[in-house]
Chains A and B, each alone.
Chain A
Amino acid sequence: RQSSDGKVEKFQPPPKPVIIDKQKQREERRFLSPEFIPPRGRTDPFKYYIERKDMIQRRRVFNIPEFYVGHILAVTTADPYANEKTNRFVGICIQRGGKGLGATFVLRNVIEDQGVEVCYELYNPRIQAIEVLKLEKRLDDNLMYLRDALPEYSTVDVNMKPVSRLDHEEVPVNKLKVRMKPKPWSKRWERPKYNIKGIKFELPESKMKEAQKWSQPWLEFDMMREYDTSKLEDKIWKEVSEGLKK
């Protein structure tokens, strides 16, 4: 074919169609629960391997769903002193702590104008069911500041129905900025040590500037505090997924 200029153009093949394989994308996303990652210390990694075997064993029998801080969960535990021997608590997960079999998570809710926080152990055999009612990540890893926020931000309806999530691709991040009660707070949340992004600080500029005096900008460059867990995570992910498949 000759173009309008009269020159012979080189044949350019048409662009190949790009096939987006949704199944492959789903498999790529993987979540390793944070209690599997061993902390930095002088303990033998063999001890963590043995602990992980027990954790995988428990996960095979009892399903522990994937959840982050900020999700709304309902936990039923066995209680010898309750009417029907079961106890159900609904709340927002504000903190996930501990490593290995002693991993815990704290649920917060406001019931009849009284703030209640319950700390549950993930691998406690008395827990009968953990249901994720609403998937929602927040801007921070630790929502302890909800204690000093207005109670409307911590109230969760006890009879809430689980919100269905069809997309298995990404967990939505709620960029909600929380309004606080007047000071004094339980901790000075405006200080850079806590690195909180989810509060709408209504403090005067001078207070915010004064809080920056306690910032430690050299901490992020400290090489002794570096703990690269990527290779460890890969190994542990393979181990865990193989253990769960059996």
Chain B
Amino acid sequence: MMPIWTKSGKKHAVTLLKVQDCHVLKYISKEESGGKTSKLLVGGKNASPFFKSESSMEIFKEAGVPRKQKVSMFNVTDDAIIKPGTPLYAAHFRPGQFVDVTAKTIGKGFQGVMKRWGFKGQPASHGQTKTHRRPGAISTNKAAKVYRGKKMPGKMGNIYRTSYGLKVWRINTKHDIIYVNGSVPGHTNCLVKVKDSKLPTYKDCNKNPPFPTFFADGDEKLPEDLYDEEIFQFTDPSVTY
């Protein structure tokens, strides 16, 4: 995470995400998947082809791509279908866009009810016998049962969570890095899924994005760094009022 300053002098914290060897793996049509839209399988970071079953390796062999560590699905409209095997770059996103980031949260192991659900617990003194971090009552008398989904101690973390509506401040096309506002779930150097935001306020925020994606061998030659309009670039002199 890094600080970033706007032209008005305000500071924002920014997370750096690197797009590492992303390829489109497979196209699943609407009828096959049984959903509302067709799907595209995308794979991330390269990994070793050994220690894996043959069936999972088939997808990679058909696409002609080394084995990927993370495979995720994206719902795609029919006019945005990409041929399996095309590489995806950070320039697929543009500064000023809004993005949702999904990742597995940091695993905390088996945790008690105070840390996991934020319960208040009991006082430390004034006669409490062996009860300081316990949940207390778990149901009422009339119910005569414990409801499903009752908040109790258990394994915390290591589940998929999304942070919505994160602004993209800057994109480095040379090293494929996306600067995303705020924090992102997951530990450092973990694998993350970045999608266009589904929030209704940011529906019309993408003005002419690269559609269906940014192709590196196309005619567009982008500069090394793409900045949002409000960012203070370090080549400019200091901010004055």
Contacts and interface: CB of A to CB of B under 8 A. Distances in A.
Given A46-B175, A79-B241, A101-B3, 20 more contacts: A42-B188, A42-B189, A51-B2, A57-B234, A57-B235, A58-B234, A61-B236, A78-B9, A78-B239, A78-B241, A85-B240, A85-B241, A121-B11, A123-B3, A125-B5, A125-B232, A125-B234, A125-B236, A125-B238, A125-B239
A126 B10 CA distance: 9
B237 interface: yes
Given A50-B172, A126-B9, A78 B238 contact: yes
Contacts of A54: 234
Contacts of B238: 62, 78, 125-128
Contacts of A51: 2
B16 interface: yes
A26 B232 CA distance: 36
Contact of A62 (B5, B9, B237): B237
A124 B11 CA distance: 8
Given A42-B189, A44-B189, A80-B241, A125 B2 contact: no
B232 A43 contact: no
A91 interface: no
Contacts of A121: 3, 11
A47 interface: yes
Interface of A: 41-44, 46-47, 50-51, 54, 57-58, 61-62, 78-80, 85, 100-102, 121, 123-128
6 contacts: A80-B9, A85-B240, A125-B5, A125-B239, A126-B9, A128-B238
Query: Which of B232, B236, B237, B241 has the largest number of chain A CB atoms within 10 A?
Result: B241
A245 B3 CA distance: 25
Contact of A126 (B175, B236, B239): B239
Contacts of A127: 238
Contacts of A101: 2-3
* Main SS at interface, chain A: mixed
Nearest to B14: A101
Nearest to A58: B234
- With a 10 A CB-CB cut-off, give which of A47, A85, A100, A123 has the most chain B CB atoms: A47
Interface of B: 2-3, 5, 9, 11, 16, 18, 172, 175, 177, 188-189, 232, 234-241
A78 B9 CA distance: 9
Contact of B189 (A43, A57, A80, A85): A43
A127 B238 CA distance: 7
A47 B232 CA distance: 20
B224 to A, nearest CB: 10
A121 B238 CA distance: 13
A53 B172 CA distance: 12
A43 B3 contact: no
Nearest to A55: B234
A79 B11 CA distance: 15
A53 B9 CA distance: 21
Contacts of B234: 54, 57-58, 61, 123, 125
Nearest to A44: B189
Contacts of A125: 5, 9, 232, 234, 236, 238-239
Contacts of A46: 18, 175
Contacts of A124: 5, 9, 11
Contacts of B3: 101-102, 121, 123
Contact of A43 (B11, B188, B237, B239): B188
B95 to A, nearest CB: 16
Contact of A61 (B5, B11, B172, B235): B235
A183 to B, nearest CB: 30
A62 B3 CA distance: 18
Contacts of A126: 9, 238-239
